[in-house]
Structure 1
Amino acid sequence: MKYICLIYDDEKAFESLPQEQVDAVMSEYFDLSDALTGSGQLIAAEALQPVSSATVVRVRSGRLSTTDGPYAETKEQLGGFYLVEAKDLDEAIRIAGRIPSARFGSIEVRPIFECQRPGT
Structure 2
Amino acid sequence: MPTYAAILYSSRDADWTAPEEGPVMAEYGAFSQVAGPAVTGGAALFPTSTATTVRVQGGKGGDVLTTDGPFAEAKEVLSGFFLLDAPDLDAAIALAAQIPAAWDGAVELRPVIPMAG
TM-score (norm 1): 0.82
Q: Does residue 1:84 correspond to 2:84, yes or no? A: yes
Aligned length: 109
Q: Could you give the per-residue CA deviations for residues 69-118 of structure 1, whole angstroms, max 9, x where no partner exists?
A: 1111111000011101000000001110000121111110111122448x
* 1:23 Cα offset (Å): 3.1
Q: Which amino acid aligns with 1:3?
A: Y
Structure with greater helix share of residues: 1
- 1:11 aligns with 12
Q: Which amino acid aligns with 1:48?
A: L
Structure 2: gaps (5+ residues)? none
- 2:55 aligns with 58
* 1:25 Cα offset (Å): 2.4
Structure 1: gaps (5+ residues)? none
For the 8 Å contact 1:33–1:42, the answer to whether it is kept is yes
- 1:96 aligns with 96
TM-score (norm 2): 0.84
* 1:11 Cα offset (Å): 2.0
Q: Which amino acid aligns with 2:80?
A: G
Which runs of at least 4 in structure 1 moved beyond 3 Å after TM superposition? none
